Amino acid sequence: MQIKSIGIDLGKTTFHLIALGNRSQVVIRKKVSRSQLLVFTANLPSSLIGMEAGVGSHFLGRALREQGREVRLIPAQFVPFVKSNKNDYRDAEAIAEAVERENMRFVPIKTEDQLDLQALHRVRDRLVARRTSVINQIRAFLLERGISFRKGPASLRRQLPEMLENADEKLSTAMRRLLNFLWQEWKGLQAQIESLNADLEQIAGSNAACVRLQQIPGVGPLVSTAVVSAIGNGAAFKKGREFAAWLGLVPRQWSTGGKAKLLGISKRGNPYLRRMFIHGARAAVLRVKREGSSLGKWMSGLESRAARNVVIVATANKLARISWAVLSSGNDYQPRYKALVFSN
């Protein structure tokens, strides 16, 4: 039996498998459980296997590679070959057809270290969002009592403990107890976030790729570890422009009839990593020295003709491209400085 490609539609407990022959005809159509999948594939001839990139796909990809298979993960939006009504078998057949295309975009299989690092970022992001929710709820409750604070959490964090102890604030006993409960939750979330930050900083200091990335202006422990967890050594992209486009840091194009129309940034790819780069770019725009630095000179020229937010997004695009270059080459970041000439 000649098998050209295999498509697997992933599920929680069951998997649907379709194998295509040399003429793209279906030669195997089978439903297996999670425990049966690796046993079944071990008895098949060596072939190309495709799966949609998602939860559990990286683990299965590594397990199938250990069996000697060539495994490719495909983003779900790049599997357009579903015929007629959608079901699990048709999804698997579409994956089997899509994985044969040489010009298809595939997702590299992440290592366990990458997945561990990515998990740290996901948990931290959830805790930060929860902390923001608690702060907003405290602000809303106080505003209903006629008490307001300046923008940002610093002023609220500094004055809230004194307010809870001050009887002149005219807060009811129930509200004072509730605000104290939220304040304790805030402190607990802050401690958890700081603990995760310390773990990420330790990893960033011991990982060679992260150390090289942190030489780039605006790239710190958070950004460097997020980049490594997402793309590893950057081998999935041929050039830095592809990485920036994958992050959604390029204009969205809507062109037809030979007329090019560029809109706002596309916001595709990894939203968390894009947000990290934009935060890093905002810090770089504020702190990078403009004299003698090619990056600073470029920023100054852009600021003279564009709004601040446009400068920040453009800087994030540039930092992403530089980060890819550092990862893919394995070399340190080498900024270019222009020699300054001082007249007497």
pLDDT tens per residue across span 157-197: 999 998 888 866 778 889 999 999 999 999 999 999 999 99
DSSP per residue, 144-184: TTT----SSHHHHHHHHHHHHH-GGG---HHHHHHHHHHHH
Q: Please answer whether residues 209 and 228 qualify as being in contact, where contact means their C-beta atoms are separated by less than 8 angstroms.
A: yes
* Residue whose C-alpha is closest to residue 324's, from 277, 287, 285, 289: 277
> Are 220 and 162 found together in one domain?
no
> Are 180 and 80 found together in one domain?
no
- Local structure of residue 55 (DSSP, 8 states): T
**Residue for token digits 């779900």?**
76
> Are 130 and 84 found together in one domain?
no
Query: How would residue 342 be classed by pLDDT, with cut points 50, 70 and 90?
Result: very low
Residue 143 belongs to a domain: yes
pLDDT tens per residue across span 280-295: 999 999 888 877 788 8
- Total residue length of the chain: 344
pLDDT tens per residue across span 44-69: 887 899 999 988 899 999 999 999 89
d(CA 322, CA 329) in angstroms, rounded, equals: 11
How far out from the chain centre does Cα 263 lie? 22
User: Which secondary-structure segment (H or E) carries 201?
Assistant: helix 173-206
> Are 156 and 223 found together in one domain?
no
> Are 188 and 215 found together in one domain?
no
The pTM (predicted TM-score) of the whole model is 0.85
How far out from the chain centre does Cα 148 lie? 35
Quick one: pLDDT at residue 1? 67
70-74, 93-97, 163-167, 180-184: lowest mean pLDDT where? 163-167
Query: How would residue 104 be classed by pLDDT, with cut points 50, 70 and 90?
Result: confident
pLDDT tens per residue across span 217-236: 999 999 999 999 999 999 88
> Are 200 and 217 found together in one domain?
no
- Give the mean pLDDT of 13-30: 91
Of 206, 227, 257, the one marking the end of a domain is: 206
Expressed as residue numbers, the domain containing 200 is 112-206
Query: How would residue 344 be classed by pLDDT, with cut points 50, 70 and 90?
Result: very low
Query: How would residue 339 be classed by pLDDT, with cut points 50, 70 and 90?
Result: very low
Quick one: pLDDT at residue 337? 53
Residues 6+ apart with CB under 8 A from 38: 63, 64, 67
22-31, 199-208, 260-269: lowest mean pLDDT where? 260-269
Residue 337 belongs to a domain: no
The larger pLDDT score, comparing residue 76 to residue 80, is at: 76
Summary mean pLDDT of the chain? 89
pLDDT tens per residue across span 241-291: 999 999 999 888 877 877 888 778 888 888 999 999 999 999 999 888 877
* Residue whose C-alpha is closest to residue 99's, from 6, 229, 172: 6
pLDDT over threshold 50, residue 329: yes
> Are 223 and 314 found together in one domain?
yes
- CATH code (residue 29): 3.30.420.40
What's the total number of domains in the chain? 3
pLDDT over threshold 60, residue 341: no
- Give the mean pLDDT of 298-305: 89
**Residue for token digits 């805790």?**
127
Residue 185 belongs to a domain: yes
Quick one: pLDDT at residue 296? 86
d(CA 303, CA 116) in angstroms, rounded, equals: 39
> Are 161 and 228 found together in one domain?
no
Q: What is residue 9's three-state secondary structure?
A: strand
- Give the mean pLDDT of 295-321: 91
> Are 88 and 117 found together in one domain?
no
Residue 270's alpha-carbon distances to 231, 243, 321, 329, in angstroms, are 10, 11, 15, 22
Please report the sign of the dihedral spanned by the C-alpha atoms of residue 295, residue 203, residue 125, residue 160: negative
CB atoms within 10 A of CB 13: 7
